[in-house]
Amino acid sequence: MFFRKSSPRKKISAPVAARLIAVLGTARRYLLIPALSAVVGFGVAVVLLNPQWVAGATARQKAVQFQPVDSLTGQAGTLWSSLKEGVLTGVRMPDWSKDFAVVASSLDIPAVFNQILPDHGLHWPDWLSVQALLSRLPRPGQEGFAPRAQVTEEGRVQTQFSSCPQFFPAGYTPLVPGAPGLRELCFSAFAILHGGQTRTPVFVVQRLNRASLIKAREVSRTDRFYADARLPLAERAELSDYAGSGYSRGHMAPAADMPTPEAMAQSFSLANMVPQNQRHNAGAWSRIEDDTRKYVMRARGDVFVFTGPYYGHRNEPAAAGRVAVPSHLFKVVYDATEKRAWVHWHWNSDETLAGPPIAYAEFVRRTGLQLLPTD
């Protein structure tokens, strides 16, 4: 009996194997970016073809779009929780496109990508995130934009805030001087009259009390700033406007006042910011915010706080030349139970000290802003 002698198997040499591994590694390195880009692009296309989703999601301002996550599991959990809470309430879209649109908007693509390839020196830029792309793209009919306030023949604006009257004492909405691009924005724990000419708020109003501040102590700060998609591109601040400007993104409604995670996330809208001197923000202004919280904790009822910028004769642009830098900041504190008000009036300067407040009547004379009921 004869046995055919089997031919020896050819072995791959070590150099060839090493080269093959390198090629596969390079392919994985460069193919992941186009693959993830395709997912992002498809999500953007779904949103643009469904403006009802834009109107519903941006109006509700759910924190799922802005909350950071520590892992893919956390991202999925955040998304699922938001769906159960009714993020899609009132949105008229096919089920598959609704779900995909929320997934696309909520996924933090830079964080996900950087977790997949942490050791290859690759970083997905923030400006390619879904949130950044959606905020820059125009929507058909602009359904998601906040309505523009109407200026009367006398050059004044009687604000309405019909979606959030609870933030105003006795239901009185402020009367303010007319200006281009005034829009009303409602959030969970505050409301904003935004000025499109300066790309900053005219004022931000809060309704504070002891119970809300006790809740705020349990909420962690998020520090995730974002451009507000309810404002047109020509009227809103972008993250790039503050980069390298030398100014802080100064909260008007302080993050430390926010009673829920959703309100905390919303407080980092750039619509709630002004370019603020860094030393003033961390020093004298921070002490005013702390003193206001201490007063609210002692108060017997609600305290309404209006905070905003004043420009006077100064309209100095920030480094990017788009966001106006205020000369002063104000904080009007009104105790609705005691029927008394006072105003903190600060230069936006590193030399400012926390001095005594001014009278509300003097504030109205300086600014023309009638924020409180007259009776």
Does position 133 have pLDDT exceeding 60, yes or no?
A: no
What CA–CA distance (Å, rounded) separates 343 from 306? 9
With a cut of 50, say whether residue 72 has pLDDT above it. Answer: no
Q: Is 313 a catalytic residue?
A: no
Q: How confident is the model at residue 112 (pLDDT cuts 50, 70, 90)?
A: low
| Number of domains within the chain | 2
For the stretch 151-210, pLDDT in tens is: 887 899 999 999 999 999 999 999 999 998 999 999 999 999 999 999 999 999 999 999
Other Cβ atoms within 10 Å of 80 Cβ, number: 11
Give the tens place of pLDDT for each residue, 290-318.
999 999 999 999 999 999 999 986 555 55
Alpha carbon separation from 7 to 1, 16, 31 (Å, rounded): 19, 22, 39
Question: What pLDDT, in 10s, does the model give residues 29-66?
Answer: 556 566 666 666 665 555 454 444 444 444 444 443 43
Q: How far apart are CA 370 and CA 332, in angstroms?
A: 11
How far CA 337 is from CA of 189, 207, 299, 340, in Å, comes to 20, 13, 8, 8
- Does 1 reside within a domain? no
The CA distance from 31 to 35, in Å, is 6
Between CA 373 and CA 171 the distance in angstroms is: 9
Report the percentage of the chain scoring pLDDT > 70. Answer: 59
Residue 66 shares a structural domain with residue 99: yes
Same domain, 176 and 235: yes
- Contact between 162 and 173 under an 8 Å Cβ cutoff? The reply is no
In a domain, 358, yes or no: yes
Out of 194, 251, 328, 346, pick the active-site residue: 251
Q: What pLDDT, on a 0 to 100 scale, did the predictor assign at position 43?
A: 59
pLDDT (0 to 100) of residue 82: 40
Same domain, 211 and 128: no
Q: Name, of 39-43, 78-82, 94-98, the range with top average pLDDT.
A: 39-43
Residue 53 lies in a domain: yes
CATH of the domain at 274: 3.40.570.10
Pair type for strands 324-325 and 340-347: unpaired
In-domain check, residue 375: no
Name the residue among 87, 94, 86, 67 with its Cα closest to residue 78: 67
> What dihedral do alpha carbons 93, 94, 95, 96 form, nearest 10°?
-120
* pLDDT value of residue 23: 61
Residue 233, classed as helix, strand or coil, is helix
pLDDT classification of 71: cutoffs 50, 70, 90: very low
Tens of pLDDT along 256-290? 999 999 999 999 999 999 999 999 999 999 999 99
Check whether residue 230 and residue 190 sit in a common domain: yes
Domain span at 63 = 14-142
Give Cβ neighbours of residue 347 (< 8 Å, ≥ 6 apart): 280, 327, 328
List all residues 6 or more positions away from 373 whose beta carbon is below 8 Å from its beta carbon.
Answer: 169, 170, 172
> Would the pLDDT of 16 be above 60?
yes
